A and B are shown apart, each in its own frame.
Chain A
């Protein structure tokens, strides 16, 4: 997607924001999950077709508005949650959904902290986590979509940040 001017981040290259998103993700995995991550194929800016697995979403508001999303398979969700909680979790249950929400909260929060140096203060909502099959998503009204694909020893995850200018 070609970036359009979005308030204070209009001059910020997408690639720089993608690096910020990867750095925030890397910090969470290193500090809280105890594993390294690598960059993998970036997800398409817009979801094509349906999706099976877990999606965690958290809203952003302030000079720019939007949301951050983490998407992964059920297996990867269990692997991440097991690492976070030092437990063996093999089914997507309330514990795994809660852990995925918190991992997303920390990743999007880390990205937000970096973005705030360009935009001014932003606020985050609280995470919502969805698990299912044939999930169709539509990314509406986002002027900027920042993506990062990551691989860790337990699987892969895709991250997306959708941003739009705040209404005056």
Chain B
């Protein structure tokens, strides 16, 4: 892992001019609040920001929605973040959707697994809010 604990692969460019709709997936309401705050601190226009507490709920929330970016934890009950990623990459509708994994799982094997499954970026918790804000600003402005 690099020194700033963020690993990024090539994300698809968001060609839409509408403010992006986002989905935050984490079983901790505290982390969802922190991520929401960081997202607003990017200063970029945001559409609807949906929240889900696990992968299963995330898939339900996405039905009929035009989501541009997902921020997802890995360790969650019911359906974890890697299962969610696998489901998205297997879906014709969502297989190109940028997904940022934000997780305590920092081992090289876990990072590799997430990247191989198609994660756009991998951010380890605990994170620097400044670093995450910059990363999200870069992804959202593409």
Contact = CB atoms under 8 A, between A and B. Distances in A.
Interface of A: 27-28, 30-32, 81, 84-86, 95, 98-99, 101-102, 105-106, 108-110, 112-113, 116, 121, 124-126
B126 A85 contact: no
Contacts of A27: 126
B30 to A, nearest CB: 4
Nearest 9 pairs between A and B by C-beta? A109-B104, A31-B126, A102-B28, A113-B106, A99-B30, A32-B126, A28-B126, A102-B30, A116-B107
A126 B29 CA distance: 14
B132 to A, nearest CB: 10
A109 B127 CA distance: 13
Contacts of B27: 126
A95 B30 contact: yes
A80 B29 CA distance: 15
Nearest to B76: A126
Given A32-B125, A126-B27, 19 more contacts: A27-B126, A28-B126, A31-B126, A81-B30, A84-B34, A95-B29, A95-B30, A105-B28, A106-B104, A109-B104, A109-B105, A109-B125, A110-B106, A113-B106, A121-B109, A124-B75, A124-B104, A126-B75, A126-B77
Interface of B: 27-31, 33-34, 37, 75-77, 103-107, 109-110, 125-128
Contacts of B127: 31-32
A112 to B, nearest CB: 8
Nearest to A102: B28
Contact of B34 (A85, A112, A124): A85
A32 B77 CA distance: 23
A141 B1 CA distance: 35
Contacts of A98: 28-30
Given A85-B30, A98-B28, A110 B104 contact: yes
A55 B107 CA distance: 26
A105 B28 CA distance: 10
B106 A109 contact: yes
Given A85-B30, A95-B29, A126-B75, A106 B126 contact: yes
Contacts of A102: 28, 30-31
Contact of A31 (B28, B107, B110, B128): B128
A126 B76 CA distance: 7
Nearest to B33: A85
A102 B27 CA distance: 9
Contacts of A112: 104
A81 B34 CA distance: 12
